[in-house]
Amino acid sequence: MILEEIAAFAARRVARAKELVSPGKLREAALSLPKGDLRFAKALRADGTSLICEVKKASPSKGIISEEFPYLAIARDYEAAGADCISCLTEPKWFLGSDEIFREIRGAVSTPMLRKDFTVDEYQLYEAKVLGADAVLLICALLDTKTIARYLEICDALGLSALAEAHDETEIESALQAGAKLIGVNNRNLKNFTVDFENAARLRGKIPSSALFVAESGVAGAQDIARLKAAGADAVLVGEALMRAPNRRAALLEFRRAAQ
């Protein structure tokens, strides 16, 4: 399965990173930084349905999405058009992202940012903090409940928001038991990368009002944003539709109108 391949590669990436910077040194560096104020999660509590806009060059299911990939211009367009948050892929093999891309975007915009990667080791949480992230992704299909809970404790200590991503009822229950307060329901099944656009709406009732609900994947246009808003989404993560739009600012402004 592709998810297992990505996770195994992530583990090898972490092992190499630890050879360059020891876990102890990285943890010390992360904890020496000012504690975050959870501004990523705060941004998603705004009126209407918030929009998390994604910067990504490629994906396993679509291949190359943006040949030229002017990522700084993309991020600036998102910020100018009122994105509530920005998601940036740092997975290098299948998504062609990097920590350097994230770092450059972080230096160019002030919008809250999610470091979107495949977290398989707590080392990556400290990496995210040092990179300037406001939030990290925890994929429930990769992590058991106990591990999610431990990672959430680390995120709390660093002041990072943690988006716990689920695809089905069992994974939602695991996230809730772990104490997650920000839960994304992915319309894409990461085990085979098929998309069921109704998945997030179908599972909305499984998430209590005490948690923020983020609908992820499958948005093609403003009408999809409107449907997810009607389904009760606190936020929607949009990637490919914006990355492929001839005019990203115009497309995002249209999406924002649908989200209000």
Q: Higher pLDDT residue, 1 or 35?
A: 35
pLDDT in tens, 192-219: 767 787 898 899 999 999 999 999 988 8
In this prediction, residue 21 has a pLDDT band, given cuts at 50, 70 and 90, of very high
Closest to 42 (Cα-Cα) out of 182, 164, 165:
182
Is 56 among the residues known to form the active site?
yes
Q: Which of 91, 127, 216, 240 is catalytic?
A: 216
In this prediction, residue 165 has a pLDDT band, given cuts at 50, 70 and 90, of very high
Q: Higher pLDDT residue, 240 or 176?
A: 176
- What pLDDT does residue 217 have? 85
Is 165 among the residues known to form the active site?
yes
Is 247 among the residues known to form the active site?
no
Amino acid at 76: R
Give the chain's mean pLDDT. Answer: 95
Is 116 among the residues known to form the active site?
yes
Q: How far apart are CA 133 and CA 128, in angstroms?
A: 5
Supply the range of the domain harboring residue 176: 2-259
| Percent of the chain scoring above 90 in pLDDT | 86
Q: Which of 79, 91, 122, 165 is catalytic?
A: 165
Q: Report how many domains make up the chain.
A: 1
Is 42 among the residues known to form the active site?
no
Distances (CA, A) of 93 to 10, 96, 99: 9, 5, 13
Q: Which of 56, 57, 129, 229 is catalytic?
A: 56
Q: Which of 186, 187, 199, 240 is catalytic?
A: 186
Q: Which of 54, 91, 122, 127 is catalytic?
A: 54
Distances (CA, A) of 11 to 17, 119, 202, 207, 212: 10, 9, 33, 30, 29
Q: What is the pTM of this model?
A: 0.95
CATH of the domain at 192: 3.20.20.70
- What pLDDT does residue 1 have? 64
